[in-house]
A and B are shown apart, each in its own frame.
Chain A
Amino acid sequence: MIKAIVNVYLKTGVLDSQGKAVHHALDSLGFNLVEDVRIGKQIVLQLDETDREKAMSDVTKMCEELLANTVIEDYNIELV
């Protein structure tokens, strides 16, 4: 059994309004060390598959077809 953790974020250069709002809030709390905030979503997939290569290739297809909108989003996949 393989677990795939997919993180989806807005692409660099695409304004992340939520990240910006949270950045402002952290600033006003006095956490001035924060330089940038990006907010994304995490999708955790439990796979009935033991071949890591096959899992990676299938999850990549899932990202391209559904899990991310590649016009505005980037994704990364971690297998555990």
Chain B
Amino acid sequence: MKVSILQFPGTNCEYDTEYAFKKLGADTEIIWHKSETIPDNTDLLVVAGGFSYGDYLRSGAIAKFSPVMKAVTTYANNGGKVLGICNGFQVLTEAGLLPGALKRNEGLHFISKHHHLKVQNSDNIFLKELSDGDIVNIPIAHHDGNYYIDDAGLQELEENEQILLKYTDASGGVQNPNGSVASIAGVCNKNKNVFGLMPHPERAMEVVLGSDDGVNMLKGFFES
């Protein structure tokens, strides 16, 4: 299992992501954004979190024009598996690889805390180790995590089972930290090979650090 992790100027979660996938037994490689190719043997490409290009203009807006993004788009369009976490999710929506957009949090504050999430659709490679309705406890850390999609787009996401995770309280009740439409925390594309979420599963790998619920999420990408 080879995991390639993208690094833009301002990315800051690439080493946590590397730690998480190495812990699960993967080979990892960090790919600088100026690279025009991604390694041929890549099984999973991760767009890691952080503040690419200082979030200038809009989060993820400048990163989508980095040289490596052409290779990412080709890789995704050929069915390659792509995971965008936090800023990586923002980059993938800006690049048009995932539907919707991320707006400033409704309460205008940067939110950094553990939050419960409910698995909405587990019939995809990412969440296959979990079941619909499972609750996980995963850190969130974002200023622009307020997921927006129009009514028609939301209906399409629901019909195609593209909503991966929703923010909830510990028992699965409604709790929306940032104003996201339908409390959405993560989505995938129609073909279910491109995934994006605002919460950080790579920061939930050790019980001693508050939660290891990220293990069962990221494990999904490995052959079972």
Q: Give the distance in Å from the alpha carbon of A7 to the alpha carbon of B2 in the complex.
A: 44
CB of A76 closer than 8 Å to a CB of B: no
Instruction: Name the interface size band of chain B.
Output: 10 to 19
> How many cross-chain pairs have Cβ atoms below 8 Å apart between A and B?
32
CB of A69 closer than 8 Å to a CB of B: yes
Q: Give the distance in Å from the alpha carbon of A14 to the alpha carbon of B103 in the complex.
A: 10
Query: What A residues does B65 contact at CB under 8 A?
Result: 66
Q: Give the distance in Å from the alpha carbon of A18 to the alpha carbon of B146 in the complex.
A: 13
Chain B 53-64 interface 0/1 with A at a Cβ cutoff of 8 Å (1 = within): 000011001000
Q: Give the distance in Å from the alpha carbon of A17 to the alpha carbon of B104 in the complex.
A: 8
Q: Which of B100, B101, B105, B149 contacts A17 (CB 8 A)?
A: B105
Given A18-B104, A72-B101, A72-B103: A67 in contact with B57 (beta carbons within 8 A): yes
Given A69-B61, A72-B101: A15 in contact with B106 (beta carbons within 8 A): yes
Give the residues from 41 to 79 in chain B that come closer than 8 angstroms, CB to CB, to chain A.
57-58, 61, 65
Query: What A residues does B101 contact at CB under 8 A?
Result: 69, 71-72
Q: Which of A10, A15, A17, A66 contacts B61 (CB 8 A)?
A: A66
CB of B107 closer than 8 Å to a CB of A: yes
Given A66-B61, A69-B61: A14 in contact with B179 (beta carbons within 8 A): no
Determine if A17 and B57 form an interchain contact, defined as CB atoms under 8 angstroms apart.
Answer: no
Q: Give the distance in Å from the alpha carbon of A69 to the alpha carbon of B101 in the complex.
A: 8
Given A66-B57, A66-B61, A72-B148: A10 in contact with B108 (beta carbons within 8 A): no
Given A66-B61, A67-B57, A69-B58: A17 in contact with B107 (beta carbons within 8 A): yes
A41 to chain B: closest residue by CB:
B57
Secondary structure class of chain A's binding surface, majority of residues: mixed
CB of A21 closer than 8 Å to a CB of B: yes
A68 to chain B: closest residue by CB:
B58
Q: Give the distance in Å from the alpha carbon of A59 to the alpha carbon of B100 in the complex.
A: 24
Using a CB–CB distance below 8 Å, which chain B residues touch chain A? 57-58, 61, 65, 93-94, 100-101, 103-108, 146, 148-149, 179
Interface CB pairs A-B, < 8 A, 12: A14-B148, A15-B179, A17-B108, A17-B179, A21-B108, A66-B57, A66-B61, A66-B65, A67-B57, A69-B101, A71-B149, A72-B148
9 nearest A-B residue pairs (beta carbon):
A71-B101, A72-B101, A17-B106, A72-B148, A69-B101, A17-B108, A69-B58, A17-B104, A72-B103
